[in-house]
Amino acid sequence: MLETLAKSAGKTLSAPEIAQALSPDAGWHDLIAPIRTAAIKLANDGRLVIYRKGKPVDPNDFRGVYRLGLPRQD
């Protein structure tokens, strides 16, 4: 997941976009829940950021559509 985000040139990606990159065949749907679980852990570790409506959210308290991105280095 982190490698896919690194290749995104600083853009955020949705869970389905990451799932399709990891498994381009029809089985990518099965990766959505594990991606969310991994994203929460990685966000808590400070290795990625979860965004909702373009703003960072608390990884332990968010709902709905979200996007993932690497922490900014500015």
For residue 52, the domain's CATH number is 1.10.10.10
**Number of domains observed in the structure of the chain:** 1
Residue 63 placed within a domain: yes
Residue 74 placed within a domain: no
Strand order in the sheet with 67-69: 13-14, 67-69, 49-52, 55-56
pLDDT reported for residue 6 = 94
Residue 62: domain span? 2-69
The model's pLDDT over 43-71, given as tens digits with 9 standing for 90+, comes to 999 999 999 999 999 999 999 999 999 99
Residue 57 placed within a domain: yes
Residue 52 placed within a domain: yes
Flag whether pLDDT at 9 surpasses 90.
no
Percent of the chain with pLDDT over 70: 99
C-alpha pair distances (Å), 49 with each of 13, 24, 55, 60: 11, 24, 9, 12
Residue 39 placed within a domain: yes
Question: Average model confidence (pLDDT) for the chain?
Answer: 94
pTM: 0.91
Average pLDDT over residues 2-20: 94
Residue 12 placed within a domain: yes
